[in-house]
Copies of this chain bind each other. A is one copy, B any other.
């Protein structure tokens, strides 16, 4: 078992991004891991600025940058010819290339040729070519927390990154375990769990979150939802492989229909919690709900706090909005039950 590993520090490439929606991966990397970001590089048309030192490829390489990170999608979806030239220049200067694009850098012959000649890596974080093993379901030491969701894109990555950060600030031993492309670029390691052969889903997560000190927390990024008609299999493999001790349920307040899934309502919280715990119990009988994380950005402050209070009363766990309230209440409760 191996994971994707990306060398740091990074030169973050912002391309011609017109706004942070286009460069949200780069923004996420800088927000969560500023210490990994040596500088930024922008094309003249770019309208975004992370406030990092502006560097050319050569300046970044001279300053020790190890990876040129494509943290955005190019306009139009295909890689512009002048970007390919930059990627070649970066490899010539001694940097690996890490990309979160759907298209594979490893499918572009010119890049593959230069990678072979220079010995640099083309790391497509949406794709996975490493060794995989099937799950064993055997118990292992250490504590594991997993985010589960009512749907895709409800804040699972943000929530787990925030919990990991809060744990680190308190001196709790913790590792963020990335399972999606943005999380992998942020952390610099991980496995894109939706991009591996289905037989190995649980085994890949077992490998990503190996036995550890009893007081160490693996904080595992979740994917999809057990109730999602396209991706539930991925979520279940992730849940089983994680053998999670603690689940954090993530949801976007106000969302009633699954994103892009015609006819699929967001399930009831009672069902979400019950089914996730029941399925998770198969590989960890001691699994428990450790909190609820809501994205309440569509609500007023009063509405948000009222909703969080309702859920807290109903389910007996801390309820937070990682942006509005932070996640301390969840980490407090985890510390109190150790």
Identify A232's interface contact among B136, B237, B261, CB under 8 A. B237
Cβ A233 vs Cβ B202 within 8 A: yes
User: Does chain B have a CB within 8 A of A77?
Assistant: no
Cβ B236 vs Cβ A134 within 8 A: no
The interface residues of chain B lying within 8 Å CB-to-CB of A226 are 236, 279
User: Does chain B have a CB within 8 A of A81?
Assistant: no
Q: Among the interface residues A134, A135, A237, A240, which one has the most CB atoms of the partner chain B within 10 A? A: A237
Cα distance, A194 to B237, chains bound together (Å): 12
Cβ A234 vs Cβ B137 within 8 A: no
Identify A198's interface contact among B139, B196, B229, CB under 8 A. B196
Cβ A240 vs Cβ B232 within 8 A: yes
User: Does chain B have a CB within 8 A of A336?
Assistant: no
Cβ B237 vs Cβ A198 within 8 A: yes
Nearest CB to that of A238 among chain B residues?
Answer: B233
- Given the interface pairs A236-B236, A275-B278, the reply to whether A136 lies near B230 with Cβ below 8 Å is yes
Identify A199's interface contact among B134, B195, B238, B261, CB under 8 A. B195
Cα distance, A264 to B283, chains bound together (Å): 9
- Given the interface pairs A138-B263, A197-B195, A227-B282, the reply to whether A234 lies near B233 with Cβ below 8 Å is yes
Cα distance, A238 to B198, chains bound together (Å): 11
Nearest CB to that of A234 among chain B residues?
Answer: B198
Query: In angstroms, how far is the closest chain B Cβ from the Cβ of A294?
Result: 23
Cα distance, A138 to B197, chains bound together (Å): 24
Cα distance, A237 to B262, chains bound together (Å): 18
Identify A230's interface contact among B134, B261, B275, CB under 8 A. B134
Identify A236's interface contact among B135, B138, B196, B233, CB under 8 A. B233
Identify A229's interface contact among B136, B230, B235, B263, CB under 8 A. B136
Cα distance, A282 to B202, chains bound together (Å): 22
- Given the interface pairs A195-B199, A197-B198, A198-B201, the reply to whether A282 lies near B137 with Cβ below 8 Å is no
Cβ A283 vs Cβ B194 within 8 A: no
User: Does chain B have a CB within 8 A of A231?
Assistant: yes
User: Does chain B have a CB within 8 A of A100?
Assistant: no
User: Does chain B have a CB within 8 A of A193?
Assistant: yes
Query: In angstroms, how far is the closest chain B Cβ from the Cβ of A211?
Result: 16
The interface residues of chain B lying within 8 Å CB-to-CB of A203 are 230
Identify A194's interface contact among B199, B231, B234, CB under 8 A. B199
Nearest CB to that of A261 among chain B residues?
Answer: B137
Cα distance, A240 to B226, chains bound together (Å): 10
- Given the interface pairs A137-B264, A229-B282, the reply to whether A199 lies near B234 with Cβ below 8 Å is yes
Query: In angstroms, how far is the closest chain B Cβ from the Cβ of A103?
Result: 16
Beyond the given A135-B231, A199-B231, A232-B240, could you list 17 further A-B residue pairs with CB under 8 A, ordered by the A residue number?
A: A134-B231, A135-B229, A137-B264, A139-B263, A194-B198, A198-B198, A198-B233, A198-B237, A199-B230, A202-B232, A203-B230, A232-B279, A232-B282, A233-B234, A233-B236, A233-B240, A275-B279
The 4 lowest CB-CB distance pairs between A and B, nearest first, are A137-B229, A233-B237, A135-B230, A194-B199
Question: Please, could you name 18 A-B residue pairs with CB atoms under 8 Å apart, sorted by A?
Answer: A135-B230, A135-B231, A136-B230, A136-B261, A136-B262, A137-B264, A194-B197, A194-B198, A194-B199, A195-B198, A195-B199, A198-B233, A198-B234, A226-B236, A227-B282, A232-B279, A234-B237, A275-B279
